[in-house]
């Protein structure tokens, strides 16, 4: 009855796997941050102080001179910056005539952690541009051109289009047209070039795309761990983590590229694919800068034949939501990290089981905390047969404990012989020694799928329950005046309840354990719950609330199964009946026993020769 040795080994393996993963990630991030801060402080100490006002004025003068020199064929493009605002019910985009590009993008349905609007693009760093031949042996970026904004056009499908035009004295023309559809985060961006052969060299457009991921959630460090540069190259999805400065080169056909933070995405899609792309990203050392990362992408794209060329692109400004991204049919739904690495397979559990059930529940239940509770009940109901088999195996092994103790006393000086006889005893009684271990290991995919699910599901964002104000972030009942390595600078109450309920399970299981004489096996069940305090303290409160409910249900089921469902007298009768049946050995068992017999004979011969 209860947890046997193999069950504890199974949970031990789970603990080692999870703790190692979390510890490595945390230590790597802390080491990197400390090293980057040390380097930045050293560089800052050596730098002379600069009058930034003078530097900014000088920079503007240089830009003006540069524009006048480089844009001599686009004199009509010089002017002053003006904004054109276009919006639907989801997004509000301010377009600038300088470069004919988006300047500010607001997601109207979302708020930052402090209640401010979510601007997924806002700032001078953001840029969408490409190089053109501006004159004799001169090139320029379109972001330096002042386009002429055209009136907003309402199309038959209620979409809105706005165009920006730049012309030169020789008749060459650039048109940037943006189309925003009702209820869509994806917008169309078409570049039309008249005189393409003169404007572009080698029939190729080199696009410069600069993006900045602003801090939107309250935990800068945690949001950074969820920030990725994502892309589809050669029809295969992949991503790069952005915990530190880095770069990558995509040498094959690229369908789209995107900067994804915890819950929001900025993406650039090429309908005819990019030929290649080179990406570089920078991560700030100082978290007070209020942005997570900046990326600079240079992507090449082939023009169609002819002197009048059209380049169809798309821009995505919106949430990292699986259902929203799935409908575009270009693999963008893979951006939602429902499973990766060695646990990539759990994304299928999340997509095709957890997400549909979760969506159904949240449509019919007002409280998100209750939705998680009901989801937990369903999962525990499905996994209860596994739990039952585990406890049944423990009950059988406990019934055999007196006989195992007798074998241990008989072969106390010969562990090999004890092991062989113990295996024979278990086999004759019809007991599987792995009956407690395997069910525990089978629960790893369930745990990991929920681990990814609660970190990545945007529907949890901003939802409150009990004392937790945002189930997508950690809950905090007390802010500490200092930071504890790995643990953090706050106390999460749901983490404490998850730890306490896990500890109660361990205490009850140890009381039911058939053999707790081994000191390691005796104290190991208590180690994992304590480590949960450090592992879970910075994770979303939805996950720690789920774990609290799951532990509570597990403890109740454990008591009910062991006290009222498992019939111990019937188990003894079944064991005795099994002993009367002929024992069937598998080929593997036969080989193992043969090896054990050989080793035993060799050991006996060795002992005899040593006595002589």
**What percentage of residues in the chain have a pLDDT greater than 90?**
41
Tell me what pLDDT residue 422 has. Answer: 72
Judged against a pLDDT cut of 90, whether residue 328 lies above it is answered with yes
- pLDDT confidence bin for 608, thresholds 50/70/90: low
Are 92 and 85 spatial neighbours (Cβ–Cβ below 8 Å)? yes
Binning pLDDT at 50, 70 and 90, where does residue 1 land?
very low
Judged by average pLDDT, the poorest of 23-37, 193-207, 440-454, 472-486 is 23-37
CA atoms within a 13 Å half-sphere pointing along the CA-CB vector of 40: 11
pTM above 0.85, yes or no: no
Q: Which of the two residues, 572 and 547, has the higher pLDDT score?
A: 547
Mind listing the pLDDT tens digit for each residue in 409-435?
777 777 777 777 777 776 676 666 665
Instruction: Give the per-residue pLDDT at 518.
Output: 57
CATH 2.70.98.90 spans which residues of the chain? Answer: 75-336
SS3 of 128-143: the string is EEEEEEEECCEEEEHH
Grade residue 447 by pLDDT with cuts at 50, 70 and 90: confident
Q: What is the dihedral of CA 550, 553, 559, 564, to 10 degrees?
A: -130
| pLDDT at residue 2 tops 80 | no
* CB contact burial 84-120 (16+ within 10 A = b; e otherwise): bebebebbbbbbbbbbbbbbbbbbeebeebeeeebbb
Please tell me the predicted confidence (pLDDT) of residue 12.
Answer: 56
Contact assessment for residue 301 and residue 286, using Cβ atoms and an 8 Å cutoff: no
Give the residue from 343, 367, 538 showing the smallest Cα distance to 453. Answer: 343
Helix (H, G, I), strand (E, B) or coil at 387: helix
CA distance 233 to 1: 54
For the domain made up of 75-336, give the CATH fold: Beta-galactosidase; Chain A, domain 5 (2.70.98)
CB-based contacts of 525, cutoff 8 Å, min separation 6? 3, 8, 11, 506, 509, 510
541-560 helix and 519-536 helix, angle to the nearest 10 degrees: 150
Token pair 């259902």 is found at 323
Per-residue pLDDT at 574 exceeds 60: yes
**Which tokens sit at 306?**
């002819």
Q: How far apart, in whole angstroms, are the C-alpha atoms of residue 294 and residue 272?
A: 26
Per-residue pLDDT tens digits for 135-184: 767 888 999 899 999 999 999 999 999 999 998 877 889 999 999 999 99
Q: Determine how many CB atoms are found less than 10 A away from the CB of residue 224.
A: 24
Coil vs helix vs strand at 48: coil
Pairwise pLDDT comparison (373 vs 340), residue with the higher score: 373
Q: What pLDDT, on a 0 to 100 scale, did the predictor assign at position 429?
A: 67
- CA dist 439 and 390 (Å) reads 6
H or E element in which residue 362 lies? helix 355-364
How far apart, in whole angstroms, are the C-alpha atoms of residue 189 and residue 316?
10
Residue 4: its pLDDT value, please? 46
pLDDT at residue 370, as a whole number:
95
Query: Which of 159-173, 276-290, 308-322, 490-504 has the least mean pLDDT?
Result: 276-290
Q: Cα(394)–Cα(506) distance, rounded to whole angstroms?
A: 15
Q: Would you state the pLDDT for residue 58?
A: 43
CA-to-CA separations, 159 to 151, 310, 315, 528, in angstroms, rounded = 14, 20, 15, 56
- The beta-carbon contacts of 599-606 under 8 Å, at least 24 apart in sequence, are 599/416, 600/416, 600/417, 600/420, 603/416
Mean pLDDT of 472-479: 90
Tokens, residue 45: 């100490």
Residue 92 DSSP SS3: strand
CA distance 84 to 93: 8
What does the pLDDT read at residue 64? 44
**Rounded-to-integer distance, Cα 251 and Cα 232, Å:** 12
List the one residue out of 348, 376, 381, 400 whose CA is nearest residue 572. Answer: 400
Which pLDDT tens digit goes with each residue over 378-396?
988 888 777 777 777 777 7
DSSP 8-state secondary structure symbol assigned to residue 583: P
Q: Do 277 and 301 touch, CB atoms closer than 8 A?
A: no
Contact 533, 487 (CB under 8 A): yes
CA distances from 410 to 79, 397, 402, 414, 607 (A): 98, 19, 12, 9, 19
Alpha carbon distance 393, 410 (integer Å): 25
Distance CA(591)–CA(580), nearest Å, equals 24
Which region among 85-94, 479-488, 521-530 has the lowest average model confidence (pLDDT)?
Answer: 521-530
Range list of β-strands (E), 215-275? 228-233, 236-241, 246-250, 254-260, 264-274
DSSP output for 486-551: TTEEEE-HHHHHHHHHHHHHHHHHHHH-S---SHHHHHHHHHHHHHHHHHHTTS-HHHHHHHHHHH
């Amino acid at each position: 009855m209860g947890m046997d040795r193999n069950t504890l080994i199974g949970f031990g393996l789970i603990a080692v796997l999870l703790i190692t993963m979390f510890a490595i990630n945390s230590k790597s991030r802390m080491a990197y941050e400390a090293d980057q801060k040390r380097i930045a402080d050293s560089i800052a100490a050596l730098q002379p102080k600069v009058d930034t006002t003078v530097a900014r004025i000088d920079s503007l003068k240089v830009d003006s001179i540069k524009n006048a020199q480089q844009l001599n064929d686009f004199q009509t493009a010089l002017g002053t910056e003006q904004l054109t605002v276009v919006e639907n019910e989801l997004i509000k985009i301010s377009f600038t005539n300088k470069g004919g590009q988006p300047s500010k993008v607001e997601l109207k349905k979302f708020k930052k952690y402090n209640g401010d609007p979510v601007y997924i693009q806002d700032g001078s760093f953001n840029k969408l541009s490409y190089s053109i031949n501006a004159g004799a042996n001169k090139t320029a970026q379109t972001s330096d051109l002042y386009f002429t904004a055209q009136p907003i056009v309402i199309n038959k499908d209620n979409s809105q289009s706005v165009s920006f035009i730049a012309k030169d004295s020789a008749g060459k023309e650039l048109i940037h047209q943006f189309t925003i559809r009702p209820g869509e985060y994806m917008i169309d961006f078409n570049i039309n070039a008249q005189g393409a052969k003169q404007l572009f060299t080698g029939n190729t457009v080199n696009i410069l795309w600069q993006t900045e991921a602003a801090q939107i959630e309250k935990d800068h460090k945690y949001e950074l761990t969820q920030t990725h540069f994502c892309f589809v190259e050669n029809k295969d999805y992949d991503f790069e983590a952005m915990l530190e400065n880095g770069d990558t080169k995509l040498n094959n056909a690229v369908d789209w590229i995107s900067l994804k933070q915890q819950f929001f995405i900025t993406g650039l899609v090429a309908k005819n694919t990019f030929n290649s792309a080179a990406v570089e990203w920078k991560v700030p050392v100082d978290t007070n800068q209020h942005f997570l990362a900046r990326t600079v992408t240079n992507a090449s794209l082939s023009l169609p034949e002819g002197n009048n060329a059209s380049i169809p692109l798309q821009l995505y400004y919106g949430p990292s939501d699986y259902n929203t991204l799935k409908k575009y049919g270009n693999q963008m739904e893979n951006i939602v990290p429902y499973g990766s690495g060695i646990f990539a397979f759990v994304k299928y559990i999340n997509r095709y089981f957890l997400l549909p059930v979760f969506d159904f529940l949240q449509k019919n239940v007002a409280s998100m905390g209750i939705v998680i509770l009901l989801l937990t009940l369903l999962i525990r109901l499905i996994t209860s047969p596994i739990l039952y088999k585990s406890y049944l195996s423990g009950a059988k092994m406990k019934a055999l404990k007196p006989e195992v103790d007798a074998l241990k006393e008989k072969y106390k000086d010969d562990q090999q012989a004890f092991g062989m006889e113990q295996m024979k005893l278990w086999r004759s009684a019809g007991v599987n020694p792995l009956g407690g271990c395997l069910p525990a290991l089978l629960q790893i995919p369930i745990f990991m799928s929920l681990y990814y699910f609660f970190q990545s599901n945007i529907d949890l964002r901003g939802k409150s329950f009990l004392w937790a104000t945002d189930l997508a972030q950690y809950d905090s009942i007390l802010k500490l005046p200092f930071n504890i390595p790995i643990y953090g600078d706050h106390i999460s109450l749901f983490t404490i309840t998850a730890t306490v309920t896990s500890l109660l399970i361990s205490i009850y299981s140890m009381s039911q354990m058939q053999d707790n004489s081994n000191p390691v096996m005796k104290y190991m069940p208590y180690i994992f719950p304590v480590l949960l305090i450090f592992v879970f303290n910075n994770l979303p409160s939805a996950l720690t609330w789920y774990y609290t409910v799951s532990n509570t249900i597990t403890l109740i089921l454990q008591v009910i199964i062991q006290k009222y469902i498992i019939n111990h007298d019937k188990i003894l009768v079944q064991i005795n009946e099994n002993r009367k049946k002929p024992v069937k050995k598998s080929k593997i068992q036969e080989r193992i026993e043969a090896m054990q017999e050989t080793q035993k004979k060799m050991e006996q011969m060795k002992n005899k020769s040593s006595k002589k």
